[in-house]
Structure 1
């Protein structure tokens, strides 16, 4: 066990994605499309058989269901944008994992949610697509 813990930092360093900028670009495109209110463009960032794993809810499967979910939760009258930072990106040529901090903004640019996101991406036809998307809010839970 001690050896595994000592090797973990070296393993993480060796699995940094060679395509980190392109992987990061997917979430940056998500943020740009959200700022424009273009939820259809956001849905096209996902694979056909993608799954959203939202907090306190059942998984949402498939691009059409993801678009329907976003049409309810990311409406421009509720959400004005998002910012992502503090990235950690790991993976290889065909798959990657991106961890980041996320801030959801209201239409006036005020932070309405601050949390973390983990996405699994697959490269399809030369483009990175989100295959699994899981996030959580950093707000304390109610008793």
Structure 2
């Protein structure tokens, strides 16, 4: 019993020290290329506003994977384009706005977290959510490798 109290005190102090270091560690893992990583998402929004789904598909790696909410993963650039042709048609979606970025990573891989607002053809918000993308640098350009998002709408709990 007498050993337990010093051990728990040591563990508590260690945890407090570790928690103090988290902000410093997060600052050190922010992507050195944050503006270029953010530009990929902004290009997505620009291409969507133009209705250019082909251009959007070129923002993804050949073996990219979409992880949409309430659906199976979609793998590969061609399948991603087919998915977007069904869900992001210009007659349904007029654009997207991304903000509140958090970007982490290194020289060849990065993760971007952002808030998203999907817009209808009149520029009105039709959906709010969150997006997490993993990007890889290929041939000197950032490409989306994994793309996962969720809607902020309340869950329907009535069955």
TM-score per shorter chain, which class? over 0.9
Residue 113 (structure 1) aligned to one of 111, 116, 127: 127
Aligned length: 143
Please state how far the C-alpha of 1:8 moved relative to its aligned partner.
1.4
Give the structure 2 partner of residue 53 of structure 1. Answer: 67
Please tell me whether residue 62 in structure 1 is matched to residue 76 in structure 2.
yes
| Separation in structure 2 between the aligned mates of residue 2 and residue 116 of structure 1, nearest angstrom | 30
Please tell me whether residue 79 in structure 1 is matched to residue 103 in structure 2.
no
Please tell me whether residue 40 in structure 1 is matched to residue 63 in structure 2.
no
Instruction: Work out which of the two has the higher radius of gyration on C-alpha atoms and give 1 or 2.
Output: 2
| Separation in structure 2 between the aligned mates of residue 4 and residue 57 of structure 1, nearest angstrom | 38
Please state how far the C-alpha of 1:5 moved relative to its aligned partner.
2.3
CA RMSD of aligned residues (A): 0.7
Give the structure 1 partner of residue 25 of structure 2. Answer: 11
TM-score (norm 1): 0.98
| Separation in structure 2 between the aligned mates of residue 69 and residue 3 of structure 1, nearest angstrom | 47
Residue 21 (structure 1) aligned to one of 35, 39, 46: 35
Give the structure 2 partner of residue 128 of structure 1. Answer: 142
Unaligned runs of 5+ in 1: none
Q: Which has the higher strand share?
A: 1
| Separation in structure 2 between the aligned mates of residue 89 and residue 137 of structure 1, nearest angstrom | 20
Instruction: Report the more deviating stretch, 6-15 or 101-110.
Output: 6-15
Residue 105 (structure 2) aligned to one of 62, 80, 91: 91
| Separation in structure 2 between the aligned mates of residue 3 and residue 72 of structure 1, nearest angstrom | 50
The answer to which structure, 1 or 2, has the higher relative contact order (CA under 8 A, 6+ apart) is 1
| Separation in structure 2 between the aligned mates of residue 73 and residue 54 of structure 1, nearest angstrom | 11
TM-score (norm 2): 0.88
